[in-house]
Structure 1
């Protein structure tokens, strides 16, 4: 059985490797992901959360609403058959996805998965995308964040 220190190290390695692989073909280089925040025990730094808030406020807040709370009826399709923006604050399904899947949605948009979100591949730098993820993950309570960590550990 691995110790919790080894699990944390493996998760950090997985997050960094997944993010680097996800963005390896990007002209903008690999995203900046810190190894661990000593205060919170999470992968992101306070600086990433601050940058993420700025990027979120400039690009995401109009649809995903303040504090990443999404829309009230996000599970119900709109009249055109698309789905409204889901919460990203840990109260919906974003916490089920690894960083690589979150980056894919940010890069490619949500149209292929039934939403209206435009792609941000050419709009945001990779470190800004990672910072947005850090920002909305900062709203996740410890239980949700822990479940996300367990779910996304390499097998």
Structure 2
């Protein structure tokens, strides 16, 4: 009888651990429907400072990107694209933008298979909240129609 209790006790602990892990995973994982709203001015101000320190060297102080950003450089890689309305940042859902900043461009995930990029991963440099602030700043510069289009892309994305 005590062996039966031990088995049930261990099984119960395993179920609790698996349940806790599932809850932790689901709460830490970015969802496809989360929209970063640039209406929070304090977030935008914070994001502008973080962008200036970490992103502007490549993507430009005015979010203009590098010259000829659609043409491959001598190393075969593309220059940093603009993050203003003329670029393609707004074509991507927020969950993908967060992933790109956090992990860099990952071939087969956030870039085509075999793609090479000079985009570094900032996951060890910036917190998730700082990445969100940067994206809020970038989005705060977009005209309403562009912001609405990006919001629709974000809200349609389901992981």
TM-score by length of 1: 0.70
In structure 2, the partner of 1:91 is 86
Q: CA deviation at 1:20?
A: 5.1
Q: CA deviation at 1:68?
A: 1.1
Q: Does the aligned pair in 1 maintain the 2:38–2:137 contact within 8 Å?
A: no
Q: Could you list the runs of 5+ residues in structure 1 that have no partner in the other structure?
A: 1-17, 24-32, 35-41
Q: CA deviation at 1:152?
A: 2.5
Q: Alpha carbon RMSD of aligned pairs, Å?
A: 2.6
The 1:44/1:99 distance shift into structure 2, 3 A limit, reads farther
Q: Does the aligned pair in 2 maintain the 1:19–1:99 contact within 8 Å?
A: no
Q: CA deviation at 1:150?
A: 2.1
Q: Does the aligned pair in 2 maintain the 1:50–1:135 contact within 8 Å?
A: yes
Q: Does the aligned pair in 1 maintain the 2:95–2:154 contact within 8 Å?
A: no
Q: CA deviation at 1:19?
A: 9.3
In structure 1, the partner of 2:17 is none
In structure 2, the partner of 1:22 is 30
Q: Report the structure number with the largest CA radius of gyration.
A: 2
Q: How many residues align?
A: 123
Equivalences for residues 69-148 of structure 1 within 5 A: 69-110=64-105, 112=107, 113=111, 114-148=116-150
In structure 1, the partner of 2:47 is 52
